[in-house]
Amino acid sequence: MGLPLVQPLEVRSALNRVRGMPFKWSLNPYRGCAHGCHYCFARSTHSYFELDADGDFSSVLFAKVNLPEALERDLSRRAWRRELVAIGTATDPYQPLEGSYRLTRAALRLLARYRTPASIVTKGSMMVRDIDVLGELADVAGLTVCHSIPTVDEAIWRRTEPGTPPPRQRLRAMQRLREAGIRAGVLMAPLLPGLSAEPGAMAATARAAAEHGAAFISAIVLHLGPGVREHFMAFLTREYPELAIDYGQLYVGKYAPRVYQNGIHTELRHLRRALGLGEREWNVRAPPPALTQLSLGL
C-alpha cells in the first residue's frame, strides 16, 4: 500500500457540539485514518467528501491545517465554560499524520492554556512524545487517555487493524503515561463477536492491561451502521468466512442484541473485580489551579 494522499482542510470551528453522549464537545484534527481498521464506524463519514468507506477512508486523508487558530477562537469566547472536550471521537488523533502536522499536540497545549479538561481515545503510541503537555493538561484541568486495544491476539490484530501499532506497543505507551502520573487505561473497542469478544480473549486483554498499570478498563461491542456494515461484512466474508452467517443473524440492525451486550459487560465486571481495575470516568477534573496555589500558600 502506498502513502496516503493528504489534503489540507480549513475549518471555521475546531469544536463540534455533541448530543446524546457523556460529553458535549468533540475535537478531531483529521478526517480519514491511515490505521484502516475494518470495523471503524467513521468510515461512512467519508461520503461527505464524495469518497467511499473502503480504500478511500485510509488512503485519502484530510488535515485541518488551521485547527489551532480555530480552537483558540473557540476557547477564548466569553461563553466558553471549560466543559470536557473529547478528542478522537471520529478518527485517530495520533495516527501517523500527527508526526508531521502536530495538530493534536497544538490542540492539547491550547486546552491546557485555557484550563479545559479533555479525554483522548487513540490506537496510536505517539502520545509518548507529548507526555510533557499531557501532564500539564492533567495538572491544570484534568485528562483521561483511553488506549483503544480490543485484543492482544496478534493474529486478530493484524487482520482487523492493519495500520495500527501492535497491541503490546500500545500497552507500553500507556504504561509510560501511567508512570508520568497521567490517568490512562484500556478501552476494548470494539469487541468483535466470535473473535476479541470471546471470554478467553477478553481475559487476556484485561490481564495485559493490568500488568501494564492501567487505571481502568472499559469496552464497547461492535456496531455496524450504514456504509461500515457493507465494508465490514465484505472483510468478514474474505477473512473469516465461517463467521459471516453468524454476524448476519446477530446484526439484524446496527447493534448486537441487548442480551448479548449485557453478557459482555457482565464478563467485564468480573474481570475488573478480579484484577482490581476501575471503570472509565468521563470528566475527571484537576483541582482548580488558583485554589491549589492558595492552599499551598503560593
Domains of the chain: 5-295 (3.20.20.70)
SS (H, E, C) the chain: CCCCEEEEECCCCCEEECCCCCCCEEECCEECCCCCCCCCHHHHHHHHHCCCCCHHHHHEEEEECCHHHHHHHHHCCCCCCCCCEEECCCCCCCCCCHHHHCHHHHHHHHHHHCCCCEEEEECCCHHHHHHHHHHHHHHHCCEEEEEECCCCCHHHHHHHCCCCCCHHHHHHHHHHHHHCCCEEEEEEEEECCCCCCCHHHHHHHHHHHHHCCCCEEEEEECECCCCHHHHHHHHHHHHCHHHHHHHHHHCCCCECCHHHHHHHHHHHHHHHHHHCCECCCCCCCCCCHHHHHHHCCC
pLDDT of 280 reads: 75
pLDDT of 179 reads: 97
Count Cβ atoms within 10 A of the Cβ of residue 197 and give its class: 0-12 exposed, 13-18 middle, 19 or more buried.
Answer: buried
Q: What is the mean pLDDT of each run of 10 residues along the chain (298 residues)?
A: 85 93 93 95 83 87 97 96 94 96 98 97 97 98 97 98 97 98 97 98 98 97 94 96 96 96 97 92 54 29
CA 22 to chain centre: 15
pLDDT of 45 reads: 84
Separation between Cα atoms, residue 102 and residue 257, nearest integer Å: 40
Strand-pair category, 5-9 with 60-64: parallel
Q: Is the CB of residue 88 less than 8 Å from the CB of residue 29?
A: no
Separation between Cα atoms, residue 269 and residue 252, nearest integer Å: 27
pLDDT of 1 reads: 52
Q: Which three cell numbers stand for residue 162?
A: 492493519
pLDDT of 297 reads: 26
Separation between Cα atoms, residue 132 and residue 180, nearest integer Å: 9
Separation between Cα atoms, residue 248 and residue 66, nearest integer Å: 42
Read off φ and ψ for residue 159, nearest 5 degrees. Answer: -80, -40
pLDDT of 281 reads: 66
pLDDT of 266 reads: 97
